Amino acid sequence: MFRVEAEDFPTHAAAAAREREAIRSLRPVHNVVFHPENRPAPLKRPAPPLAGTPDDLLGYAQIAEFTAELGRPIKTQSLRAMRASGRMPAPDDRTVPDRPRWRRSTVVEWLDARPGQGTRTDLRPKT
């Protein structure tokens, strides 16, 4: 039987060598020593949305954070879809047309009035 080796074809050998070198370069480096003075400063995080007043104005991202902290998370994209389909209250602030904002108290009232997860809202009582 005829057997072909990688050395018989220089292009294959070169490609194999490049591949081995690429794999070697991806290996983690474990000899790095971290000293306390070399550590990066901790990130400054903004105050959590719960630490506000009822009159604070919240956009989509802030409402998503607020609902997550309340334990009832709603994604930003879901909030946009709810507003587009009329399942959200009217914005309290429309000074910027493409950036609607709601007061924190309005959001809390809306969340309390929402049906729970799994509730069938498409069923109508028989008349």
DSSP assignment letter at 54: T
Which candidate, 59, 68, 58, 72, places its Cα nearest to that of 113?
A: 72
Q: Give me the pLDDT at residue 42, please.
A: 60
Q: At what angle do helices 60-69 and 104-113 cross, to 10 degrees?
A: 60
Q: Give me the pLDDT at residue 21, please.
A: 76
- What radius of gyration, in Å, describes the C-alpha atoms of the chain? 28
Q: Give me the pLDDT at residue 5, please.
A: 59
Rounded Cα–Cα distance for residues 54 and 51 (Å): 10
Model pLDDT for residues 16-62, shown as the tens digit of each residue:
777 777 777 665 555 555 555 655 566 555 555 556 777 889 999 99
Average pLDDT, the chain: 77
Beta bridge partners of 71: none
For residue 80, pLDDT over 90 is answered with: yes
With cut-offs at 50, 70 and 90, classify the pLDDT of residue 91. very high
Rounded Cα–Cα distance for residues 125 and 114 (Å): 18
Rounded Cα–Cα distance for residues 61 and 101 (Å): 10
Contact between 89 and 102 (Cβ < 8 Å): yes
Rounded Cα–Cα distance for residues 62 and 56 (Å): 10
